[in-house]
């Protein structure tokens, strides 16, 4: 588990859960087609963005869906919401990483695009530099980031 934060701490907990509950070395071990979800415990409302980094280093945004605002109420939250889950059917084998970014305020579509663009420019982003970029670009110090690695067999 990698958890980086600035002042305030928006996350109380970030857990990645697969259907089978199998893990190896602290990372979830998933089979192709297995359903997976994130369980967050937030201290207060936050804008939450979730990106998937594949084994080749490419990023794609997985939450929220396009056109949907990324504001979530505080407390225990499950992503995706409403009993849904993400499926690993389209993912190739190897190590994948979910990058979970929480901001203590709403985020504009332009700011969301700036984050997506920044992640897409680096194969192995430096977490500290990314947090500094987020704080500077978004003019906020209330930023927290977590990563969760998982393996697809």
Please give the backbone phi and psi of residue 37, each rounded to the nearest 5 degrees, phi first: -150, 160
- Which residue shows structure tokens 């396009």? 66
Its pTM stands at 0.87
| C-beta of residue 40 within 8 angstroms of C-beta of residue 14 | yes
| pLDDT string in tens for the chain (153-residue length) | 344 444 458 999 999 999 999 988 889 999 999 999 999 999 999 999 999 999 998 899 999 988 887 878 889 999 998 778 999 988 999 999 999 999 888 888 888 888 888 888 766 677 778 777 777 777 766 888 899 999 999
Domains within the chain, CATH numbers bracketed: 2-152 (2.60.40)
Cα–Cα distance for residue pair 26/133, rounded to 1 Å: 28
**Dihedral of alpha carbons 136, 140, 144, 149, sign:** negative
**Cβ-based neighbours of 146, under 8 Å, separated by 6 or more:** 1, 2, 3, 4, 11, 14, 99, 100
């Amino acid at each position: 588990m990698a958890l980086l934060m600035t002042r305030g701490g928006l996350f109380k907990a970030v857990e990645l859960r697969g259907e089978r509950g199998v893990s190896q070395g602290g990372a979830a071990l998933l089979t192709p087609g297995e359903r997976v979800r994130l369980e967050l415990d937030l201290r207060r409302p936050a804008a939450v963005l979730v990106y998937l980094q594949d084994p080749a280093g490419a990023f794609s945004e997985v939450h929220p869906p396009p056109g949907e605002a990324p504001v979530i109420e505080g407390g225990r939250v499950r992503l995706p919401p409403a009993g849904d889950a993400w499926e690993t059917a389209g993912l190739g084998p190897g190590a994948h990483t979910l990058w979970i970014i929480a901001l203590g305020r709403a985020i504009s579509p332009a700011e969301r695009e700036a984050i997506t663009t920044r992640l897409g420019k680096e194969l192995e982003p430096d977490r500290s530099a990314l947090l500094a970029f987020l704080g500077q670009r978004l003019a906020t110090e209330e930023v927290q980031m977590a990563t969760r690695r998982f393996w697809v067999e």
